[in-house]
Amino acid sequence: MPEGDTIFRTARTLHRALAGRTVTRFETVLPQLARVDDDAPLAGRTVERVSSAGKHLLVQFSGELVLRTHMRMSGSWHIYRPGERWRRSRRDMRIAVYTAKFDAVAFNVPVAEFIPAREIDRHDELRTLGPDLLAEDLDAAEALRRFRERPTLPIVDAVLNQRIVAGIGNVYKSEVLFACRIDPFATVESLSEAQLTAIIETARKFLRANVGAGLTAMTTYTGYRRTTRRGNPSDRLWVYGRGGKPCRRCDTPIAMRKHGDDARLTYWCPACQAGR
- Say how far apart CA 31 and CA 159 lie, in whole Å: 34
Closest CA to 156 of 175, 128, 140, 129: 175
Any idea which residues carry the catalytic annotation? 2-3, 55, 264
Question: 115 has which bridge partners?
Answer: 66
Greatest Cα pair distance, the chain, in angstroms, is 62
Question: 266 has which bridge partners?
Answer: 257
CA angle (261, 254, 263) in 5-degree steps: 10
Q: Which segments of the chain are extended strands (E)?
A: 25-28, 47-53, 56-61, 65-70, 76-80, 93-98, 103-107, 111-116, 255-259, 264-268
SS3 240: coil
DSSP code for 191: S
